[in-house]
Amino acid sequence: MDFAYTEDQKMIAELAKDFAEKEIAPYVEEDEENHYYRREILTQMGELGLLGFNIPEEYGGNGLGWMEAVAALYEIAKVHTSWRLSISGNIWGPALTILEYGTEEQKQLYIPGLCSGEYAGSFAITEANSGSDVASMKMTAKDMGDHWLLNGSKMWISGGHTSDIGLVFAKTDPAASGSKGISCFIIDYNNTEGITRIPINKKVGMWSAPTSELVFEDARIPKQNLLGPLNKGFQICMWMLNNTRMGCATGSAALSAACLEGAAKYANERTQFGQPIGKFQMIQQQIAEMKLEDEAAKYLLFKAAWLKENKLPSQQATSMAKLAGCNAAVHGANLAMKIYGSYGYSDEYPCGRWLRDAKQFETLEGTSNIHMTIVAGIELGYQPDR
């Protein structure tokens, strides 16, 4: 096993770290307070080539793969977890899925803009009454001959009201049972009538990452915007989630690292009873627990990236990476707040943001229960690893 970054990976991680420290860090607390989504960060990332991962150069990509993408996103999310959505919302969601399932025309029309940051992307699966049970979605897309008519609503969509291009999943055969009869559509939000996008302004964390409800009322979608085969949307959705979940795995591992770094620094600076609190055995135990979980999460993250890079089955590894990252982030944020004492409970330090942001990972893109079901199901031979 080789744990060292290659020269390319080192370079891209340094570029992303430098970018995050110069362009994201100065605004973190201000944007957090104002619940502000700073769209220009996405544009700047595109200009620097930080959105082009996993996409061939002919479609505007940077020609680099999963390991480099994760190395870059890790540095960005470590500074502000809200920005973990940059690569997953633009690339691992819409761009990569269009690359895999799209026609040549769709690839040329949408992928370069998602890589350059001209477009912000999103993907909409969840509905008010259809969360973990994706197949139970009710939104419909009716074939009207020369166009599709979409009706229904989507809930909890990251970047739903700020994205330009998004993937939306809907029932094209409402009579079909279970996961059958679902299809995937590319939506050009700025040029489609009949879609109301409602910001969800109050949520526990991720205050600089917009979340939305989308209401489709006779939204007319061009015929050619069907992505992939008709009625194969569920398979497309699962394929996509196996990629986008890397955004959660990376974001949570990065958040865990931020908590650990912050807590270790504070433990060395803060003195009580005449010595740094880091000298107390109980603080050391907390730091050791954080380090153990943080390191394990990071290894599982890069193992999943490596499997993807080598086109090997990665679903179990991705779920494990997301679970380990989530547990490390939630536990790490909790311990960090304890180590910082009262200051951790104030807004002088980022402990509150860390804890709020960590909790997202227990729910999004498959709850922890769902990921444990995937890990166990594959281990027990009930489902293949993909």
Ligand X SMILES: Cc1cc2nc3c(=O)[nH]c(=O)nc-3n(C[C@H](O)[C@H](O)[C@H](O)COP(=O)(O)OP(=O)(O)OC[C@H]3O[C@@H](n4cnc5c(N)ncnc54)[C@H](O)[C@@H]3O)c2cc1C
State which of residues 201, 217, 369, 376 lies at the interface with ligand X (CB under 6 A). 369
Question: What's the min distance (Å) between Cβ of 264 and ligand X?
Answer: 29
Instruction: Quote the CA–CA distance of 92 and 309 in Å, as a whole number.
Output: 13
- Give the integer Cα–Cα distance in Å for 200 and 221: 25
- Shortest distance (Å) from residue 203 CB to ligand X: 6
**Distance between CA atoms of residues 187 and 120, nearest Å:** 12
Please give the Cα distance from 368 to 249 (Å, whole number): 12
Owner of token pair 């880091």: 278
Q: How far apart are CA 57 and CA 112, in angstroms?
A: 9
Binding part of the chain for ligand X, among 123-131, 145-153, 288-296, 298-306 by CB under 6 A, reads: 123-131
Crossing angle between the packed helical segments 233-269 and 66-79, to the nearest 10 degrees: 50
Single out the residue of 90, 97, 316, 360 in contact with ligand X (rule: CB under 6 A).
360
Given 31, 32, 164, 365, the residue binding ligand X (CB under 6 A): 365
Among 19, 156, 185, 207, binds ligand X (CB under 6 A): 156
When asked if residue 131 is in the footprint of ligand X (CB under 6 A), the reply is yes
Which residue bears the tokens 């620097």?
Answer: 48
* CB burial of residue 200 (10 Å; 0-12, 13-18, 19+): middle
Choosing from 58, 193, 365, 379, the catalytic residue is 365
Cα 373 to Cα 361: distance, rounded to the nearest angstrom: 16
Q: How far apart are CA 67 and CA 6, in angstroms?
A: 10
Q: Is 124 in the site for ligand X (CB under 6 A)?
A: yes
Out of 37, 53, 119, 123, name the contact with ligand X by CB under 6 A: 123
* Site residue total, ligand X (CB under 6 A): 22
Q: Does residue 336 touch ligand X according to CB under 6 A?
A: no
Q: Which listed range, 46-54, 186-194, 249-257, 364-372, lies at the site for ligand X (CB under 6 A)?
A: 364-372
Q: Does 367 bind ligand X (CB under 6 A)?
A: yes
- Residue 365 annotated in active site: yes
Site string for ligand X, 190-229 (x = CB under 6 A): -------------x--x----x------------------
Residue 326 binds ligand X, judged by CB under 6 A: no
SS3 assignment, position 159: coil
Tell me the C-alpha to C-alpha distance, in Å, between residue 13 and each of 7, 25, 296, 310: 10, 16, 20, 20
Active-site residues, by number, are 365
Report the interface residues with ligand X, using CB under 6 A: 122-126, 131-132, 156-158, 203, 206, 211, 360, 363-367, 369-370, 373
